[in-house]
Amino acid sequence: MNDSPGWASPGSSPSDSERPGTDGSAQQPAPPAQPAQPAGDPKWSAEQPPPGQWSNPGTTPAAPQPQPTAGWGQQPGTPQAGQYGPQYGYPGAPGQWGQPPAAKPGVIPLRPLGLGEILDGAVATMRTHWRAVLPITLVVATVVQVISVIAQKFMLDDLAISASPDAGPEEFIDAIGSTIGATAVVQFIQFLGTIVVTAMLTMVFSRAVLGQHSSVSDAWRESRPQLLRLIGLTLLMALGAVLLGAVLILPGLLTETAALAVLGGVVWLPLLLWLGIKFTLASPALMLEKSTVFKAFARSSKLVKGTWWRIFGITLLTIIIAGFISAVIVMPFQFLGIFAFSGGLDALANGSAADMNNWGALIAPAIGLIIAQTIVMPFQSGVTVLLYVDQRIRREGLDLELARAAGLENYGTTGG
């Protein structure tokens, strides 16, 4: 990430006269002379209140009240003379412990993140930087769905022909071939679109962490040098999953042993899940560290080590949220396509391809998918990027580097 000096610290540190350990009372006017008081009945408290809370001369100062703050990792201190209950504040204040609030130049505070902060950071980036986020996903989702609708149109035509009682073996084989081809084209376009979205959104979210705005052209310029490597990384992960399944399942299929094939499948699925979470941070590592494919795999493995279950839980929750949002958006458009263009539930129950093979029935759900993907894709990409940032803050102190890149001078040396 590029340094961009000029950012001011979100909060100023206490002045020298207000810091603990200095004689702040020297800045106050001397109180008028008081008559001698009997021993054990002092007129003034044994311990003066902190700066800004002085009492008028001649009156007994009120006991200071607890002032909780939003500081991270704070712990209550032991009550001292003249104090009642724990106090919170900057480190070193009388009876006060804990860290000051972390700096937040962008969408997240520069400290280890909780689940809510990761999800909120992803949503905040979409809301604050929508001019860069939404055009990227909207264009890609639209291109993918247009190609998908065209491919499905011709695929359903071939299926209708093959379903005819007069169709021969050649028509049936052609229908199967065209179906496989159309599906392959749609999946390939979906694959390329996901790669482009992931690459560009990674750059947008990395700038949002620093409080910097991005444009679509900026995101494309920064992500373009790593696109081929990101494609290679994604293909390698897909190929590894297929090869792993082949090694575990094929022996049972070749020997026609159903139990062995089922056992291979039972082993393959959890192993695939474990590897998927283990390498889930490889994509942001590749894009942000400008590394090679295999170095990105190694970085992801190192960052996930010891926190697999935490990352799995956050990733699973993200998938559930994204799936729910997609379903809510897409279902009304699917019903519109069924009832308005496909003959209603009767055609759906009969599986009539002719009734489903019209532009209205294909375009209506495609519109819903475009809207859903425009919202869901940046949310999922943002969670992955912020998980990567969070793991590096926890393991490598990335918050100090991010603070310097955001222009926060002396961050981490003077209490932030």
Where helices occur in 342-412 by DSSP H, the ranges are 344-350, 353-356, 359-396, 398-405
Which tokens hold the place of 371? 């809207």
Per-residue pLDDT at 165:
52
DSSP designation for 264? H
Q: Which sequence spans correspond to the domains of the chain?
A: 116-388
> Which is more confident, 122 or 413?
122
Sequence length of the chain is 416
> Is 70 exceeded by the pLDDT of residue 223?
yes
Residue carrying the six token digits 């990227």? 136
User: Which of 25-39, 227-241, 246-260, 282-296 has the weakest average pLDDT?
Assistant: 25-39
CA nearest to 385, candidates 201, 236, 230, 228: 201
Tens-digit pLDDT profile for residues 10-20:
333 333 334 34
Residues 285 and 389: beta-carbon distance below 8 Å: no
Per-residue pLDDT at 159:
55
Per-residue pLDDT at 153:
77
> Is 80 exceeded by the pLDDT of residue 351?
no
User: Which of 168-177, 386-395, 399-408 has the weakest average pLDDT?
Assistant: 168-177
Per-residue pLDDT at 42:
47
User: Which of 52-61, 152-161, 356-365, 401-410 has the weakest average pLDDT?
Assistant: 52-61
CA 277 to chain centre: 14
Q: What is the 3-state secondary structure (H, E, C) of 101-140?
A: CCCCCCCCCCCCCCHHHHHHHHHHHHHHCHHHHHHHHHHH
* Average pLDDT of span 120-134: 94
Question: Strand pairing partners for 88?
Answer: 97
Per-residue pLDDT at 46:
52
* Average pLDDT of span 356-365: 79
Tens-digit pLDDT profile for residues 69-81:
333 333 344 334 3
Signed CA dihedral, 370, 372, 375, 379: sign only: negative
> Is 60 exceeded by the pLDDT of residue 207?
yes
> Is 60 exceeded by the pLDDT of residue 84?
no
Per-residue pLDDT at 310:
97
What residues have CB less than 8 Å from 246, skipping those under 6 apart?
A: none
How far apart are the C-alpha atoms of 125 and 118, rounded to whole Å? 11
Residues 13 and 414: beta-carbon distance below 8 Å: yes
Which tokens hold the place of 81? 């003379």
> Is 70 exceeded by the pLDDT of residue 297?
yes
User: Which of 28-32, 83-87, 293-297, 370-374 has the weakest average pLDDT?
Assistant: 83-87
What percent of the chain has pLDDT above 90?
Answer: 47
pTM of the model: 0.71
Segment of 60-69, 77-86, 249-258, 387-396 carrying the highest mean pLDDT: 387-396
Reduced to 3 states, what is the DSSP secondary structure of residue 397?
Answer: coil
CA nearest to 90, candidates 104, 71, 103, 73: 71
Question: Mean pLDDT score of the chain, rounded to an integer?
Answer: 76
Count the Cβ atoms, other than its own, within 10 Å of residue 20. Answer: 15
